[in-house]
Structure 1
Amino acid sequence: MNQDLPPQTLPDWDLYRALREQWTHEDNLVNHRLMWLILSEGLLFTAYGTLTTAKLHWLVFGFPMFGMAVAGVIGVSIYAALDATDEIARQYEQAGLMRLCNLTPTKQVGNRGRWAPLALPFVFGALWVLAMAGAFGS
C-alpha cells in the first residue's frame, strides 16, 4: 500500500483491507484482555479462598481491593479497544465501503457479542465487593 496517499484516495479494496486489519487487531486485543481478566480474577479468587481459611485478616481485605483494581484496569483497556473498533466502523461507513462488503455482523446479530467484554469487568468488581462485605461481616 502506498504510504504517501491519504486514506480517502486509496483504492476501495486497499482501504477495506487496511480497516479490516485494524478491526482484526483491535478485536484480538479485546480477546487477549478478556482472557487476562478471566485468568487473573480466577487466580485471585482461588488465592482469596485459601486465605479466608488461613485467618490472615489484612490479606482478606487486601485481595478484594486488588481484585477490584485489576478488574478496573483491564476493564478500561477492554473499553479502549472496543472504542477503537467503533471508530474503525465509523471510518468504514464514512468511506462508503458498505457497498463492497459488510464489516460488521448483520442487524439480527447486533452487538450481543460485545456483552461479555462490556459486562465482565463489572461482574468481577461486584463479586469482589460481595467478598469484601462478607469479610466485614465475619
Structure 2
Amino acid sequence: MSKNMPENFIKEEVERLYDRIRAKIEHEDNLVNQRIMWMITLQGLLFIAYGFSLSAEATSLSVSSSDKMSFISTLTILRQAMVALGVGSSFATLLGVIAAHRAIRDDEHTLRRGQDNSKSDLKTFPNPIGRRVTNIIGMICGLAFPFLGGVVWMWIGRLLPNPLIVVIALVLIFVMGIVIWPFIDFK
C-alpha cells in the first residue's frame, strides 16, 4: 500500500460529502419552487373564483328579493371561505419555504464546519449556494411571495387596515429582514 492511498481516500470522502450536501441543497431549493408554484396556482384559481363571485353578485340584482338574500348570504360565505383558503395556503407555503431555507442553512453550516475542521481539499470547493448576499436576497424573495399572498387575501377579506399602512409595514419588515438576516444563526 502506498502512502497516497489514505490521502486519496480522504479526498474522495470529502468530494462525496460536498456532492451529497450540494444535492440536498438543490432538493430543498426545488421544494421551495414547487411550494411557491402550487401556491401561485391555487391563488390564481381563487382570484378567478372571487372575480366570478363579484360578477354573480352583480347579476343577482335582477333576482327577487327573497331569493336575493339567500343568494347573497351564500355568496358571502363562499367569499369568506376563499379568503380563509387564500390566507391558509399562503401561511402553509410560508412555513414550507422557511423549513426549506433552514435546511439549506443547516447544510451550509455542516459544510463550513467541515471546511474549518478539515486539513483536506474541502476548502477548495466553492460555496454550494453561491455568494451569501445573493442567497439572502433569494431567500427573502422566496419568503415574500407567500407573505404577500396572505396580505392580499387578508386585505380582500377586510381583515387589514388601510393599504398604505400595510405597504409601509411590509417595507419596514423587508428592510429589517435584510439588516438582521445575516446575524441570525439557525442552529
Matches within 5 A, 1:35-46: 35-46=37-48
- 1:63 deviates by 0.9
Q: 1:43 to 1:79 in 2, by over 3 A?
A: same
The answer as to whether partners of 1:26 and 1:82 remain within 8 angstroms in 2 is yes
**2:137 corresponds to 1:118:** no
Q: How many residues align?
A: 127
Deviations 1:29-53 (CA, angstroms, capped at 9, x unpaired): 1111111111111111111111123
Decide which structure has the larger Cα Rg and report it: 2
Matched, 1:89 2:91: no
2: distance between equivalents of 1:52 and 1:98?
Answer: 60
Shift of 1:70: 1.0
Aligned-partner Cα distance in 2 for 1:75–1:98: 34
Contact conserved, 1:92 with 1:98, CA < 8 A, in 2? no
| TM-score using structure 1 length | 0.82
- Listed one character per residue, the Cα deviations across residues 56-97 of structure 1 (whole Å, up to 9, x for unaligned) are 121122211111011111221111111111111110111103
Which residue pairs with 1:51 in the alignment? 53
Question: 2:30 is aligned with what amino acid?
Answer: N
1:129 aligns with 2:131: no
* Structure 1: distance between partners of 2:133 and 2:21: 23
- Which residue of 14, 17, 20 corresponds with 1:15? 17
| Partner AA of 1:12 in structure 2 | V
Relative to structure 1, the CA distance from residue 125 to residue 25 in structure 2 (aligned partners, 3 Å threshold; closer, same or farther) is same
| % identical equivalent positions | 29
Q: Which structure has the highest helix share of the two?
A: 2
Amino acid at match of 1:59: L
Match of 2:80 among 37, 53, 61: 61
Which AA in structure 1 matches 2:158? A
Runs of 5+ in structure 2 lacking a partner?
1-9, 58-74, 116-121, 160-187
> Taking structure 2 as the reference length, what is the TM-score of the superposition?
0.62
Gaps of 5+ in 1: 1-7
Computed over aligned residues only, the root mean square deviation of the Cα atoms, in angstroms, reads 2.1
| Cα drift, residue 108 of structure 1 | 5.3
